[in-house]
Amino acid sequence: MVESRGDWSANPQNRGFADTVLEAVASSGQLYREGLGMIASENIVSPMVQKIVSSDLHGRYAEGLPNKRYYQGCGDFDTIEELGINLAKEVFNTPFANIQSTSGTVSNIAALKALAKPGDKITAVSTADGGHISHARMGAVGLRDLNLSTYPWDEERMEPDVDAAAALIREVEPTIALFGQSVFLFPTPLKELADAAHEVGATVMYDGAHVLGLIAGGYFQDPLREGADVMTGSSHKTFPGPQGGFILSSSEDEKFQRRLNNAVFPGTCSSYHLHHVAGKVVALAEFKEYGEELSKNTIENAKAFGAALAAEGFDVLAEGRGYTESHQVLTRHGELDSGAGARAADKLEQAGIITNMNMLPGDTKAMTPSGLRLGVQELTRVGMGRSEMEEVARFYARVLISGEDTSNVKAEVRDFKSEFQTIRYCFNEEGANGYPF
């Protein structure tokens, strides 16, 4: 029972603030129910995960590890976290898993803290070539004060230039060789590059934030078997859980595992958001049941969407490699640094299609890039398939090529999306697959 300690009418301004928030939350939910969510770093959580995330756990603390806590009252959460650690080890086929991190970036900060000292050298993908901001001096790499060198890039293949990157690693002799991107179309040629890194004594770190679900589903690539010593990732992109992160490792060395655990708590987190951890555990259980199918369908949809956009006349990157092997598709909409990507994203939002502008190879200005980065994982989660990808591509063409009135297209997008209002690849309360959006 919640005791009321005030009359809303006594302070209408405060009530107005609350009402504004409630209205904005409702409006955001309507936007995504009626529109097409195609931002590559987002996904939908299942209703069961939503229920867990909004539970009493949201306000609780459990510093430490299961059965080694600094607070009382953690017995039930010990049960939850132990289950989650074991599920993560099984889903990712790894001897070590930490599920406490509050985001992919925090996972990266913790891993860098565990693996390197300030002033050490690191190699990574440049943000201009699709690397994540946490891999740059502006982000976690700078926070840890690491000396960064970036890999030569193969624009045609949209991956590090293998020979030149291996030569760079051998020349620089970094403490950490970091791989993975935010713009992530194709598997990293990891084995060859990991061999070069290990030759010079580097630890190989793979940021799988965007593609973690595809990896866990058995698709894309298998970094922990291809040479990565540590893999970080987000729990809310192609892995369809609540916002949060993972740190995984192929090492069975207890001292190394302890360094990773200590880098999360107390290194980068105090309370680590128990409600989100519990939500990850439910998402892991759902992914164990449905993840392989979800990952397969997501990649198939992305490939079909890339081909459909190209057929409509768009400039889709990496045509020679089949456009993509992940959940992402990249399109160019004008000259470099022209802001064409920003203008395209704005027009699409007016038509009920939510995307994000993105720098493409050659762009230098993050706020006025030439491209879009498009993700199909959310559309896949509500049951869309290859034929729907063709229809979505036609919506894009009507807005950005034909220049149709966006309000008319938005009405048709709403009608189209009304047929896809069930969240799939998850449990409902009877244990079956699917739940109303």
**Taking the chain, what is the end-to-end CA distance rounded to the nearest angstrom?**
29
58, 67 contact by CB (below 8 A)? no
Q: For position 17, what pLDDT does the model report?
A: 86
Q: What is the distance between the alpha carbons of residues 236 and 241, in angstroms, rounded to a whole number?
A: 5
Given this model, what pLDDT does residue 415 score? 98
Which among 198, 199, 237 is positioned nearest to 220, based on CA atoms? 237
**pLDDT digit string (tens) for 111-140?**
999 999 999 999 999 998 999 999 999 999
pLDDT of residue 431: 44
Query: Beta partners for 147?
Result: 121
What CA–CA distance (Å, rounded) separates 349 from 332? Answer: 17
pLDDT of 437 reads 55
What does the pLDDT look like over 70-89, one tens digit per residue?
999 999 999 999 999 999 99
Domain(s) labelled CATH 3.40.640.10 in the chain stretch across 51-286
Residue range(s) of every CATH 3.90.1150.10 domain in the chain? 36-44+290-436
CB 46 within 8 A of CB 426: yes
Q: What is the DSSP letter of 210?
A: T
At residue 432, the pLDDT reads 47
CA distance 65 to 98: 10
Q: Which residues of 230-242 are buried (b: 16+ CB within 10 A; e: fewer)?
A: bbbbbbbbbbbbb
Q: Is 392 helix (H, G, I), strand (E, B) or coil?
A: helix
Query: Are the C-beta atoms of residues 125 and 179 closer than 8 Å to each other?
Result: yes
Residue 19 in 3-state DSSP? helix
Helix/strand/coil for 276: helix
| Assigned token pair, 119 | 């002033």
Calculate the average pLDDT of the chain: 94
Is residue 369 within 8 A of residue 339, CB to CB? The reply is yes
How far from 417 is each of 8, 178, 295, 433, CA to CA, in Å? 38, 39, 21, 20
Q: Which helix (H) or strand (E) holds 436?
A: strand 433-436
Q: Which of 267, 271, 227 is nearest to 144 (CA)?
A: 267
Domain 51-286: give its CATH architecture. 3-Layer(aba) Sandwich (3.40)
CA distance 260 to 205: 12
**Rounded to whole angstroms, how far apart are CA atoms 13 and 323?**
52
Q: Which amino acid is at 310?
A: A
CATH number of 36-44+290-436: 3.90.1150.10
pLDDT by residue (tens digit) across 23-73? 999 999 999 999 999 999 999 999 999 999 999 999 999 999 999 999 999
Angle made by CA atoms 114, 117, 119, in degrees to the nearest 5: 150
Mean pLDDT by 10 residues, the chain (437 residues): 55 80 94 97 95 94 93 95 98 98 96 98 95 93 95 95 98 98 97 97 98 97 98 97 97 98 95 95 97 98 98 97 98 97 98 96 93 98 98 98 98 98 84 50
Q: What is the DSSP letter of 12?
A: H
The reply to whether omega before 266 is within 30° of 0 (cis) is yes
